[in-house]
Amino acid sequence: MSSRQGAGSVGDVNHPASHTHSGQHSHEGQHSHGDQAELAELIDLDAEVLHEHHREVIGWIASLVPERARVIDLGAGTGVGALALARQLPGAKVTALDIDEAMLARIRHKAAALGVADRVRTVQADLDEPWPTPESTLGPADLVWAANSMHHVADPGRVLAQARAALRPGGMIVISEMNSFPRFLTDEAGAAAEDRGHAAMAEARTEAGMHMDEDWGDRLVQAGLVAEEPRSFGIVLSAPLPTAAGRYAQLSLERMRHGLADRLGADDLAVLEAAAATAPGGDGLVIRADRTVWVGRRPR
C-alpha cells in the first residue's frame, strides 16, 4: 500500500478506481480525508489480521541483511513494513518514502510510540519522479523494500533502476505483491458475487494500466539484479479468527461495493452490501489470500 500497502500495506484493496500513476498510490484530489483514513485503517488491519504472514516475511528478509542495515521502504503507506524492519533489526536505519504527507505523519507518530523514531525517517517523494540522490539522502542501502507499491508506478523499469542505484553492491531489492486480493465469503451466493467483484476489479486495474500481473523476477533481472527464486504464500485463516478480522472483511467488502457500483449488477451489489453489514460479527468468514515475494541482489 504503497500508498498504499506494505508487508507493508494493502495497497488499493477493493477500490479499483482510487489510484493514479502519479505517486504509486496517490489519492490526492480524488477522494476525501475520510477515504484516506479508511484506506490507512485497512492497511493496518491487513497487518494485524495477517500478522503471522507479515512476521514470517519480515523475519526472513531481515535474516538476509546486516543488523545495522540501511533500509528504504518504497511507497511506505502507514509504515507497516518500515516499522517492522526497524524493530526486527535493532541497529537498522530506515527511510520511508511516500507521496502522501498524512501517511508519513502517521509513520512518525507510530515510530515515536514504538521507540524507534531515532532510526526511522520519512521522505515525501513521488516514485515516478527523480528521487533525492542516493549519495545525499537514500544510499547506499542494504535493502530496498517495496510491498504492494510497484504495481502502482507508471514505469517499473525506471523505478527499479533508481532503486538499484540506491543499493550498495550486494544489497537487495525485495518486491512483495498480492496475487489475489483477500476473499472472505463462503456461502454460495456471497462467494459468487465476491468472485465477480474480483474479476471486475482486475478488469478495472488493467484498463487503468496498473501492473498487477508483472513477472517481477524478470523486471529485477532487466534492472541489472540477480533474481532469486520467488516465494509464494497461500494464506487461509478460519475460525477462530483474529478479533479485527470482522472489521477487515467489512471494510474490504464495502470498498469493493463502492468501487464497483457502475460495474456489477444490482443483485451482486446487494449481496456485497448485506455481507459487509454482517461481517463485523465474523460468523462464517474465512480469509484467503495469495502473495508472492521476489528478491533481487545487486552484483558485488
Q: Give the model confidence (pLDDT) of 156-187 as tens digits.
A: 999 999 999 999 999 999 999 998 889 999 99
Residues 102-108: contacts with CB within 8 Å, 24+ apart?
102/36, 102/40, 103/3, 103/4, 103/40, 103/76, 103/77, 103/78, 103/79, 104/76, 106/40, 106/78, 106/79, 107/76, 107/78, 107/79, 107/82, 107/83
Residue 136, phi then psi, degrees to nearest 5: -90, -30
- The 8-class DSSP code of residue 29 comes to T
Q: Which residue has the cell 510510540?
A: 113
Is 207 strand, coil or helix?
helix
Q: Would you call the peptide bond into 280 cis, given omega within 30 degrees of 0 as the criterion?
A: no
Q: Could you tell me which of 34, 62, 7 has the C-alpha nearest to residue 178?
A: 7
CA dihedral 71, 37, 9, 44 (to 10 degrees): 100
pLDDT of residue 34: 56
pLDDT of residue 213: 82
CATH of 33-179+211-236+290-297, one of 3.30.420.40, 3.30.479.30, 3.40.50.150, 3.40.50.2300: 3.40.50.150
pLDDT of residue 199: 95
Q: Is 219 left (phi over 0), alpha (psi -120 to 50) or beta?
A: alpha
Is residue 1's pLDDT more than 70?
A: no
Is 256 strand, coil or helix?
helix
pLDDT of residue 25: 41
Residue type, 151: H
| Chain mean pLDDT for the chain | 87
Higher-confidence position of 121 and 20: 121
Residue 3 CA, chain-centre distance (Å), reads 7
- pTM above threshold 0.85: yes
Query: For the segment 113-164, what is each residue's pLDDT rounded down to a tens digit?
Result: 999 999 999 999 999 998 776 545 666 999 999 999 999 999 999 999 999 9
Mean local confidence (pLDDT), 80-97: 97
> Under a CB-based contact definition with an 8 Å cutoff, are residues 180 and 242 in contact?
no
Any idea what the Cα angle at residue 160 is, between residues 65 and 175, rounded to 5°?
Answer: 50
Higher-confidence position of 278 and 3: 278
Strand partners, 176: 147, 293
pLDDT of residue 138: 67
Q: Would you call the peptide bond into 240 cis, given omega within 30 degrees of 0 as the criterion?
A: yes
pLDDT of residue 209: 83
pLDDT of residue 187: 95
Is residue 7's pLDDT more than 90?
A: no
Read off the C-alpha cell for 210.
Answer: 496498473
Read off the C-alpha cell for 202.
Answer: 482486475
Strand partners, 194: none
Whole-angstrom Cα distance, residue 103 to residue 221? 31
Please enumerate in sequence order all residues whose Cβ is within 8 A of that of 104, keeping only pairs 6 or more positions apart, or say none. 76, 96, 98, 122, 123, 124
Please enumerate in sequence order all residues whose Cβ is within 8 A of that of 164, keeping only pairs 6 or more positions apart, or say none. 173, 223, 224, 225, 298
Whole-angstrom Cα distance, residue 146 to residue 34? 25
